[in-house]
Amino acid sequence: MDFGRSDRWRLPTAIKILIAGGFGAGKTTMVGAVSETRPLRTEEALTHIGTDIDDLSGVEAKPTTTVAMDFGRITIRDDYMLYLFGTPGQERFWFVWDELAMGALGAVVLADTRRLADCFPAIDYFERRGQPFVVALNCFEGARPFTVGEVRQALGLDPDIPIVRCDARRRDSGREVLITLVEHAMNRGATPVGTMS
Q: What are the tens digits of pLDDT across the range 91-144?
A: 656 667 788 888 999 999 999 888 889 899 999 999 999 999 999 999 877 667
Structural domain range at position 134: 13-187
Is 76 a member of any domain? Answer: yes
Is 142 a member of any domain? Answer: yes
Give the span between the Cα atoms of 128 and 35, in whole angstroms. 28
Is the per-residue pLDDT at 196 higher than 70? no
How confident is the model over 55-62, as a mean pLDDT?
53
Is 56 a member of any domain? Answer: yes
Q: Are the C-beta atoms of 139 and 165 separated by less than 8 Å? A: yes
Is 135 a member of any domain? Answer: yes
pLDDT value for 98 = 85
Give the span between the Cα atoms of 150 and 173, in whole angstroms. 21
Number of domains the chain contains: 1
pLDDT value for 5 = 47
Residue 42: enclosing H or E segment and its boundaries?
A: strand 40-45
Q: Are the C-beta atoms of 69 and 96 separated by less than 8 Å? A: yes
**Cα Rg of the chain, angstroms:** 17
Is 1 a member of any domain? Answer: no
CATH code assigned at 176: 3.40.50.300
Is 196 a member of any domain? Answer: no
Q: What are the tens digits of pLDDT across the range 13-50?
A: 889 999 999 888 888 899 999 988 776 555 545 455 55
Is 3 a member of any domain? Answer: no
The pTM (predicted TM-score) of the whole model is 0.77
Is 62 a member of any domain? Answer: yes
Arithmetic mean of pLDDT over the chain: 79
How confident is the model over 156-174, as a mean pLDDT?
94
pLDDT value for 109 = 97
pLDDT value for 192 = 53
